[in-house]
Each structure stands twice: as structure tokens, then as C-alpha cells.
Amino acid sequence: VRIVTLVSQVLIYTSKSGLLASKSESLHDQFNEATETTRLLDSSGGNHMNSQIPEPVHDGSQDPSIHRTTFPFGNKWKYLMGYSIFLPYMWPSKSHGLKLVRLACLFLLVVQRINNVMTPILVGVIITALANQQEAHAFYVVWPQITLYVFSRWLQTGLSSLRSALWIPVSQYSRMELSTAAFEHVHNLGLDFHRNKKTGEVLSALNKGKSVTGLLEQVVFEFIPTLLDLFIAIGYFLIAFDAYYALVVGISSFGYIYVTIRMGLWRAQTRREMVNASRYEDAVKNESVVAYETVKLFNAEQHEFHRYRTAVRDYQKTEYYSSLRGTVLNTVQNTVLMTGLLCTCFIAAYQVSTVQQPVGLFVTLLMYMAQPQGPLGYLGSFYASIQSSLINAERILELFREQSTVVDSKLATPLVACKGEIRFQNVQFFYDDRKVLFNGLTFTCKPGTTTALVGESGVGKSTIFQILYRFYNPADGSVHVDGYDVRDLTGDSIRKHVSIVPQHLALFNESLMYNLNGGEKQRVAIARTILKNTRIILLDEATSALDAGSETFIQRSLKAFSYDRTILVIAHRLSTITAADCILVLHEGRVVERGTHAELLELNGRYAEMWRNHTRE
């Protein structure tokens, strides 16, 4: 009868908890549905080239995503299943040795659970034996039982330390695989993502790999053992003692779990706001430090100080409410556990007083009650910790969900050799629906010739380079290199045959120990191009940062190096392209004039007007 009563009450409790949870979730989703509008990794338009890109507003207020408290990828199930993308990085598939280490750690985990069951039993045996000696006025010291008890206590710490030591290389493997995969993924994303991204956001996301690996360790070595300890304790009470003990422990334990989950969801709202506020604070700090020169040039220090101070204040506000709700949660959790302990002690004291059970039972029960209370007490902090890890991991999860707009087709082949012919055929391209950049762009560059691109700012000269480099795909038309459509070639192989001297160059802090001013950077870029030794060279204002003497020297060097190579040049100073084999004048998405310098002057069109304006300067 007692067993039937226990089972029925647990089933009724579980069904009611499920109904309450489902109703609360539906209300919670309805309440927060209106806030599900802003991406956590806000890239101002993401990777959709045709979407309208909103202008960023930096007024010192918080990022709108901070106020989002709902799940960013749909309902809870879809949200949790989204993390399955990390599983291949968690299992050491490349190392058989690490697989054996992981299995050894799981074996030690099982041994720990068995040892935890034996420890309270040994204490009860010792107490009962000592009590019986006093009643019988006999002398016998239970040396074997005491030795086993101390050894069992030592094993509790020893096995945990051994398991932690063995797990270090497994954890390092997961961290390495996940971090490098995220780093490579960012580099493989399209140029549109990198232009629209917030640098601080992406850097923050890349730093969240530790949260994912920590999440795995918490689930395997803390959450699962906690549940095992709980069910072992309930089963032991039911079999070895009395169904009433199992009933009290079961109700208090599941009541604790229910309170933890329900109040945890209540706390998760402020927890998410706190994590997102911290993310925004990092973004403000990173962006402001990276833009140090701009801040100084425009006397924006006080504005940046105020913006960062506001971000810190917003974070502290959300941190306060999150900590306050955490304190309330801990108080309620402790009340539930102590109520269960009180009921168990009353039952055990009554049975010992009426000589229904030996005195050692009371001590054994106290230890068994403490055994699930420890994991359950940890479960509360673990639930908050796992919430924090999940929210932190959302950053890197959303980064993995970003897809490049330019990917090689499965049938793409590498460009093995390159002669240097370039052909744009009726190319159409636009960044968004508001403006069409190219509308039927057509031109051909013969191998070994120099072609210059001129036109007003924003006409798309640099975009031609980016399309040729496979940073973007044309919306219509085609681009050919040596007669091959670039979409039928791998992007990496195309870039191996193309060099570029960009207008703005990034240097890596490795071996250049001298002054890195604009002219020095330009020389480094030209040196890189010469060392790469490709058949196609793109010059984007290659000498814009040089003085007149250096420019003349570099122009001679480039002329000697560019012999029998295909050169595309972008230049605002028309005097640097007068010797080009062909000059293309771009206007409103098309080539409106083409020819040599002399031919275009004789034509007396747009180029001639640009030349007259240039000579007046």
C-alpha cells in the first residue's frame, strides 16, 4: 500500500508540474513575443545583400538586444537542439587515446557513485556496533569498519581529483577544435558580413568557446551525477528502510527541482539582460579603443567616456536585479530542503525512540539526507551556471549560424595556370534594393595589358576588384578569367593568381619593428605583391600615401615588374594612368567611355572634363 501511495503521488505531482510548466511557458512566450526582433549578433543587416541596412545609432543607450528575454532560435526544444552543432567538436574523433581517457573518466564516475552509497552505510554500521557494545558492556573496537569508512571518504576526493586530471587533455582538445573552427568560420564568411559586423560583437563571440566546453563538463560530471545520487538515495530509502522516507525525500527533491526550474526561468530574464549588457559593454570598449585615433581627431573623448560609463551602469543595474533574484531563489530552495530534512528526522527519531530501528539508522539517514542535499544544493547554482553558459554560448552559436553569401560550388575546379585575361560580361550588381551599382557592366582586359578604371566616388571601381576576388557574386551576368566563369572556379585558386595593392592595408604585429606610417604600409603592400608574383595585379590607389619622389620611384618599379602581366589600376590622380593601354570611364553602372589617354582627350567627353579639372589643381 505504501509503495502504491508513493508512486501515485509522484505521478500526480509530475503531471501537475508539467501542466503548470506548459501554461507558464505559453504565457511567457506570448508576453515576450513582441521583443523577438533584434539579432543578438547584430551585424546591421546580416548576410543579406538585398536587405535594407539600418544606420547604427550611438547615443549612449543600450543595444536593443539587451532587452530581449526570449529564446533567440524559436521554442525551447529548437533552442536546445541548436547546440547540437557543437557535438562534433566535443568528441575527440581524431585521437583514439583521448577516447579511452573519456571512457576512463566515465568509469571513475560510476565508481564514485557506488562509493557514495557505501559511505553512509559504513557510518551506520559503526554507530550501531558501538551502541551494542555499550549495552552489552563489551569491549571491541571496529577497526576494519572505521578503516573502510576513512578509505571511502578518501576515495570521494581522490577519484574526483584523478578524474579531473585525466579530463584536462579532453577539455583542451574540445576548446582547440571549437575555437579554431569558429576562427576559420569567421574568415570564410563573406565580405558583406565583415563590413556590416560590429567588431566588438564578433570578438566577444569568439571568446565564448570556453563557455561551450565548460557546459559539456558541467552536464557530464555534475548534472548527471546529481540525478544519479538523487535516484539512488530514493531507491535506497524505499528498499532498505521505509516507503515514507522515500516519499519525503522524493517530494522534497522533486519539489526542489520544480522550484529551481520555475524560479530559474523567472531569474533567466534578468540573467539574459545582464549577459547582453556585459556584451554591449565589451563592444563599446573594444570599438572605442580600436577607433582611438578617430576619437582624438574629433574631440569625442567625453562622449566615449559617457557612453562607456552608461554601458557599465546599465550592466550593474541588471547585475543587481539578477543577484537579488538569485538570493530569493536560494532562500526558497533551502526552505524546501530543510522542510524535507525536518520530516525525515521526525520519522527516524520516532522509530529509534520506539526501538523500531537501531540508533545507527538515525545517523545513516542524516548522511543520506545530506548526500542528495549537497548535489541538490549544487543543482541550484548549477542551473544558474548552465543558464549563463547557454546564454554566453548563444554568441558563438549565432556566429556559426551565419553563412557566407559566396561559396564554391560542389563542381568548382581550381585554376591551375593563369594567362591573365579578364572579361566582365553584362554584369549587374547591387548591395541593396535602394541602389543598383552595375547595370550591364561589360569590358575585357587582354593578357599583358594595363587597364585603368576612373570615375566619380561611389561608382564601383573597388567593387570590380572585390567581384574579381570572389568577395561578391554578380546578381546577373558573368565574370571570366582566361575564359573560365569565376563561379566554376574555386575562390582560393583565383586569389592565388591575383595580387592587390589595397588603398588601406592592415599590418600584423610580427616582424616590422620600424615606423609604420602610411607610406611605409604602402611599400609593404607593394612588396607583398612583388613577392606573390602573380599574372594579374590590381592596384587600388597604390601610390596614394607616397610623396612625389617616392611615387616616381615606385611607379618605375611597378612598370618594370608589370611587364607582360595584366594590370588593373584605380587612380584618382589621372597623371598616373596616362600610359595605360586602355582607360575605362565608369558612370551610372556602365562603361561610358573607353580608349587610351590621347583617344579620350580627343573624344572630349567625361574623361576630358576630368582631365581639365585635374590639371587645374
Strand arrangement of the beta sheet that strand 536-540 belongs to? 498-501, 536-540, 566-570, 450-454, 582-587, 590-595
Local confidence band at 1 (pLDDT 50, 70, 90 cut-offs) = very low
Listed range (55-69, 72-86, 157-171, 223-237) with the worst mean pLDDT: 55-69
Listed range (161-165, 207-211, 222-226) with the worst mean pLDDT: 207-211
Over residues 128-135, the mean pLDDT reads 74
Instruction: Report pLDDT for 4.
Output: 43
Over residues 249-277, the mean pLDDT reads 80
Phi, psi of 36 (to 5 degrees): -85, 70
The residues that bridge with 593 in the sheet, in sequence order, are 585
Q: Do residues 585 and 607 make contact, with C-beta atoms less than 8 angstroms apart?
A: yes
Gyration radius of the chain over CA positions: 35
Instruction: Report pLDDT for 26.
Output: 40
Pairs from 301-309 (Cβ < 8 Å, separation ≥ 24): 303/60, 306/60, 307/58, 307/60, 308/281, 308/284
Over residues 381-396, the mean pLDDT reads 69
Q: Do residues 224 and 106 make contact, with C-beta atoms less than 8 angstroms apart?
A: no
- pLDDT higher than 80, residue 379: no
Q: Do residues 176 and 456 make contact, with C-beta atoms less than 8 angstroms apart?
A: no
Which helix (H) or strand (E) is 193 found in, with range?
A: helix 191-196
Q: Which residues contact 279 (CB under 8 A, 6 or more apart)?
A: 40, 63, 66, 201, 204, 395
Torsion of CA 493, 496, 499, 500, to 10 degrees: 60
Reported as a single tens digit per residue, the pLDDT across 506-550 is 554 445 444 475 556 666 777 777 788 888 988 887 666 566 666
Which helix (H) or strand (E) is 192 found in, with range?
A: helix 191-196
Domains of the chain, start order: 76-401 (1.20.1560.10), 422-616 (3.40.50.300)
Report how far apart, in Å, the C-alpha atoms of 281 and of each of 199, 313, 396, 451 are: 13, 9, 17, 47
Reported as a single tens digit per residue, the pLDDT across 429-471 is 988 766 788 989 999 999 989 999 998 888 888 899 989 988 8
Local confidence band at 608 (pLDDT 50, 70, 90 cut-offs) = very high
Instruction: Report pLDDT for 34.
Output: 30
d(CA 172, CA 112): 24
SS (H, E, C) 142-178: CHHHHHHHHHHHHHHHHHHHHHHHHHHHHHHHHHHHH
Which helix (H) or strand (E) is 429 found in, with range?
A: strand 422-432
Listed range (45-54, 61-70, 200-209) with the worst mean pLDDT: 45-54
- pLDDT higher than 70, residue 327: yes
Torsion of CA 424, 427, 431, 434, to 10 degrees: 140
Reported as a single tens digit per residue, the pLDDT across 148-163 is 888 988 988 888 889 8
Q: Which residues contact 567 (CB under 8 A, 6 or more apart)?
A: 449, 450, 451, 537, 538, 539
pTM listed for this prediction: 0.60
d(CA 325, CA 331): 10
Which helix (H) or strand (E) is 274 found in, with range?
A: helix 243-290
Instruction: Report pLDDT for 401.
Output: 79
SS (H, E, C) 510-577: CCCCCCCCHHHHHHHHHHHHHHHCCCEEEEECCCCCCCHHHHHHHHHHHHHHCCCCEEEEECCCHHHC
Q: Which residues contact 19 (CB under 8 A, 6 or more apart)?
A: none
Instruction: Report pLDDT for 49.
Output: 34
